[in-house]
Structure 1
Amino acid sequence: MASGFTLVFGLVRVTNLAHGGLYLLGGYTALSLQRMTGNWFIAAGLGAVATAGLSTVLYLVLRRVHGDGLPETMLTLGAAIVMADQALANWGGVPSDLDPPAALRGSIDLPGSILLYPKFRLSVVAMALLAGLCLWLLLYRTRLGSTIRASVDDRDMVSILGIRVELVFCTVFAMAGALAGLAGAAGGTYLSLAQGEDNRILLASLIVVIAGGLGSIGGAAVAAVVIGLVEAFAQTHHAIFSVLITFGTLIAILALRPHGIFGSQQDDRA
């Protein structure tokens, strides 16, 4: 989820408040498809395709106000409200979850530990690491990645070279939407799908992206681990103050690293 938000917010500089809605709709779409097909992987894949398409449509609407802060933000906020209402109208307000794949059900013993850990949660960690690695390779080891970063740095120069910048940004939005949909399927399996989850996930992603540094995939990965551990500790030992502790951690990171863990001043173009 944070990887997709990093692409849109960190690179394209769009505060996409509808990203949480894409997460929720991706999860619910996968839920319906799993009930039809009985296959988690097909459901998650098609759910990601659906949210990629929806995210593309969102960009086609946004492109007319791209770079105009308030209208851009308000448009994504409106889209988020519409998505949440559609989720409520089509799937109801009762929390639901997907069934994990048969091969990933149950728990396993972790080496050196007496605790059992769910197989599916370990697979989610693996998927997150794989997604982060693929994004890093895409952005820093491919021609498309170079084009994306160049389009952010100097849009006019890239346009002069004959590259359609709008098509590049549209591709970024599609990738971010697919990642949000895949995250929705995974989150809807080991957590649950319910009204309000979109806002909670969006806030968590925003914290991770800011703490990691805008546009930094590695920073987002490190920040996700740090924020996740702090939040888990806070909810276990000081549940009442968990939100305060999480934001306190973000403030501490920004006090030490104003541009995020792996961010830099030249990357802070917002």
Structure 2
Amino acid sequence: MDPVIFLIQCLNAVQYGLLLFLVASGLTLIFGIMGIINLAHGSFYMVGAYMAFALQPLVAQHLGAGFAVTLLACVALTAVMGYVLEWAFYSFLYSRDHLQQVLMTYGLILVFEELRTLIIDNDVHSVPVPDWLAGSIPLGGVMTYPVYRLFISAVCLLVAGLLYWVLTKTRLGMMIRAGSSNREMIDSLGIDINRLFRIVFAIGVALAALAGAVAAPVSSVYPGMGNAVLIICFVVVVIGGIGSIRGAFVAAMLVGVVDTFGQVFFPAAAGVMVYLLMAAILLFRPEGLFRQG
């Protein structure tokens, strides 16, 4: 393989893996810490993408601001949405069995899809790349690489670093880590576990929505776009270890490399290579690569 093409595929693998991490980190927080199988997580990815589509022209027209403000608005609005959803729906699922969790969260998928149809429509939409990110970087003699894809990687790395700092260096992170290992102890110390879970859920929703918003200009915005992302993110969570942010990061990068280079070298089998990777890892480490935390 030509070295320049190899470099481009490496950049694609990193960008895809980092984007998967952004979605999967929210899923593993909710799944590992709150104990809820949240099938609607992919819908939050879709909500973020549609918010980017709907808000970008409004932000530009009324505020004179650019894409960065649109991303911040998506994060803020979806965090509030997540907080309300946990209070209104998910808080009733903690004592229910997994079947009821699956049924209710699947019902939320249908609700979000119908709301999308009513508010927007069923067409495929494009989100324009901001002018300051619309260029390409030359690689070699004739190859180029889009600046916006590098921007996606930079945003994901920034959020990953911020998430690591919050979980390891702040009081909130200490409570989240303690709550994931012993909820009764946290409750006995006088910490409002319900409020903590709402914050965790809001963070998870905002991370998924941010991933959808930053991916919208390169993947378009279309009905059901969250379903495929949900499946691959469950794979990432299982490989990395349920509840482990570090595991989600490592697993997302592995999946990104396997999927990207699988499509290059083994295009006919690329669709199953990620699942073969998951099966191979679970044979030797049934709990995933890392333990919760």
For residue 41 of structure 1, what is the aligned residue in structure 2?
68
| 2:33 corresponds to which of 4, 8, 11 | 11
For residue 208 of structure 1, what is the aligned residue in structure 2?
236
- 1:251 aligned onto 2:279: yes
Distance in 2, Cα, partners of 1:65 & 1:236: 43
Q: Give CA deviations for 1:156-205 in whole Å, capped at 9, x if unaligned.
A: 22112111000001001111111111111111111111112110111111
Decide whether the 8 Å contact of 2:32 with 2:242 is kept in 1: yes
Equivalent position amino acid for 2:49 in 1? G
Equivalent position amino acid for 2:211 in 1? A
For residue 144 of structure 2, what is the aligned residue in structure 1?
116
Once structures 1 and 2 are overlaid, which stretch shifts more, 150-159 or 197-206? 150-159
For residue 49 of structure 2, what is the aligned residue in structure 1?
27
Identity of aligned residues (%): 34
Equivalent position amino acid for 2:80 in 1? G
Distance in 2, Cα, partners of 1:151 & 1:3: 17
Equivalent position amino acid for 2:273 in 1? I
Once structures 1 and 2 are overlaid, which stretch shifts more, 240-249 or 193-202? 240-249
Equivalent position amino acid for 2:286 in 1? P
Q: Give CA deviations for 1:74-118 in whole Å, capped at 9, x if unaligned.
A: 2111111111221123222222121122221111135x7963211
Query: How far 1:63 moved relative to its partner?
Result: 0.9
- 1:2 aligned onto 2:24: yes
For residue 235 of structure 1, what is the aligned residue in structure 2?
263
- 1:54 aligned onto 2:81: yes
Distance in 2, Cα, partners of 1:242 & 1:84: 29
The two structures have a TM-score, normalised by structure 2, of: 0.84
Decide whether the 8 Å contact of 1:31 with 1:43 is kept in 2: no
Give the secondary-structure state (helix, strand or coil) at the position aligned to 1:145.
Answer: helix
Distance in 2, Cα, partners of 1:147 & 1:250: 31
- 1:148 aligned onto 2:176: yes
RMSD of Structure 2 on Structure 1 (CA)? 1.9
Distance in 2, Cα, partners of 1:80 & 1:95: 19
| 2:156 corresponds to which of 117, 128, 131 | 128
Decide whether the 8 Å contact of 2:48 with 2:78 is kept in 1: yes
Equivalent position amino acid for 1:53 in 2? V
Give the secondary-structure state (helix, strand or coil) at the position aligned to 1:117.
Answer: strand
Distance in 1, Cα, partners of 2:197 & 2:104: 17
Distance in 1, Cα, partners of 2:32 & 2:158: 19
Structure 1: stretches of 5+ with no match in the other structure:
none
Give the secondary-structure state (helix, strand or coil) at the position aligned to 2:137.
Answer: strand
- 1:73 aligned onto 2:102: yes
Give the secondary-structure state (helix, strand or coil) at the position aligned to 1:98.
Answer: coil
Decide whether the 8 Å contact of 1:208 with 1:227 is kept in 2: yes
For residue 125 of structure 2, what is the aligned residue in structure 1?
96
Decide whether the 8 Å contact of 1:44 with 1:181 is kept in 2: no
Distance in 1, Cα, partners of 2:281 & 2:128: 37
Corresponding residue pairs, total: 264
Q: Which has the higher contact order (CA 8 A, sep 6+)?
A: 2
Give the secondary-structure state (helix, strand or coil) at the position aligned to 2:220.
Answer: coil
Decide whether the 8 Å contact of 1:47 with 1:185 is kept in 2: yes
Structure 2: stretches of 5+ with no match in the other structure:
1-22, 61-65
